């Protein structure tokens, strides 16, 4: 019996005759994700950041193939891309090396984003990564789109945005798809600590390359919403 990967690839090639596709990472025709771009996602090279004492581990820099594949998942609804991205997230989790008792809490998807996509990006990535997540966070209000806001405006936009279910001493890791300025992760960590959780760090698939203070104030970050 042929390996599962061979069967899946054969099915993808057959479907490409009916529904033409292009590689999400490089536009190669007739394949959802080519071998080269898939290998790029497999090569996890953790990016470590420190946000006010919170260690954030990301599998990749948010650029090139990684940026395009995440954009295709979020903006084009290509849910099949969650599997290779989930493997990247699993690699970041290995690098964080959290205790087994840790609870992984996803940053919640906004109502508007869920309505337009029909799925919750971070929770989907967690499932594909084999991470059992605890959806403890919920928004307290609507927030403006972060994409067009600079660093300080982002912090103000998400201040007090989340509330958390009681965590009562649980060890917690926050999970998101992309970290840009870190405003959302900081707010998520604040809410979890207020609910009694001990935040060990955060995981993301990708980290936007940090820039100078001047360029960060003009940074629009990832070109996709929550």
70 touches 214 (CB < 8 A): no
Checking if the pLDDT of 140 tops 90, the result is no
The whole-chain average pLDDT of the chain stands at 83
Tell me the residue range of the domain where 204 lies. Answer: 43-217
What does the pLDDT read at residue 148? 57
Checking if the pLDDT of 38 tops 60, the result is yes
66 touches 26 (CB < 8 A): no
What does the pLDDT read at residue 8? 53
Checking if the pLDDT of 47 tops 70, the result is yes
Task: Classify residue 12: in a domain, yes or no.
Answer: no
The CATH number linked to 101 is 3.40.50
Task: Classify residue 32: in a domain, yes or no.
Answer: no
Task: Classify residue 198: in a domain, yes or no.
Answer: yes
Residue 164 to residue 194: CA distance in whole angstroms: 8
Task: Classify residue 93: in a domain, yes or no.
Answer: yes
Task: Classify residue 189: in a domain, yes or no.
Answer: yes
What does the pLDDT read at residue 3? 55
What does the pLDDT read at residue 21? 85
Total residues belonging to the chain: 226
Backbone angles phi, psi at 77, to 5 degrees: 70, 25
Residue 168 to residue 65: CA distance in whole angstroms: 40
What does the pLDDT read at residue 118? 87
Checking if the pLDDT of 102 tops 70, the result is yes
Task: Classify residue 21: in a domain, yes or no.
Answer: no
Between 115 and 204, where is the model more confident? 204
What does the pLDDT read at residue 40? 95
- How confident is the model over 23-36, as pLDDT tens digits? 999 999 989 999 99
The domain tally of the chain equals: 1
73 touches 65 (CB < 8 A): no
Can you say whether the dihedral through the CA atoms of 63, 224, 120, 116 is positive or negative? negative
Residue 125 to residue 131: CA distance in whole angstroms: 9
- Mean pLDDT across 103-114: 88
Task: Classify residue 24: in a domain, yes or no.
Answer: no
* C-alpha 85 chain-centroid distance: 8
Task: Classify residue 96: in a domain, yes or no.
Answer: yes
- How confident is the model over 143-202, as pLDDT tens digits? 545 455 455 555 455 656 899 999 999 999 999 999 999 999 999 999 999 999 999 999
């Amino acid at each position: 019996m042929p390996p599962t990967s061979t069967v899946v690839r054969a099915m993808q090639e057959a479907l490409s005759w009916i529904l033409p596709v292009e590689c999400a990472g490089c536009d190669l025709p007739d394949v959802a994700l080519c071998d080269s771009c898939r290998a790029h996602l497999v090569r996890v090279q953790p990016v470590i950041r420190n946000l006010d004492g919170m260690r954030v581990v990301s599998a990749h820099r948010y650029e090139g193939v990684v940026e395009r594949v995440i954009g295709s998942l979020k903006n084009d609804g290509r849910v099949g891309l969650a599997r290779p991205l989930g493997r990247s997230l699993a690699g970041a989790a290995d690098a964080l090396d959290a205790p087994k008792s840790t609870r992984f809490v996803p940053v919640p998807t906004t109502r508007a984003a869920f309505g337009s996509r029909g799925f919750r990006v971070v929770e989907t990535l967690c499932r594909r990564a084999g991470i059992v997540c605890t959806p403890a966070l919920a928004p307290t209000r609507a927030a403006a789109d972060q994409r067009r806001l600079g660093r300080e405006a982002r912090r103000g936009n998400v201040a007090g945005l989340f509330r958390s279910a009681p965590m009562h001493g649980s060890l917690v890791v926050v999970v998101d798809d992309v970290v840009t300025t870190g405003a959302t992760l900081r707010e998520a960590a604040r809410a979890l600590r207020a609910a009694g959780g001990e935040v060990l760090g955060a995981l993301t698939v990708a980290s936007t390359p940090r820039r100078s203070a001047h360029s960060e104030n003009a940074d629009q970050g990832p070109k996709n919403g929550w």
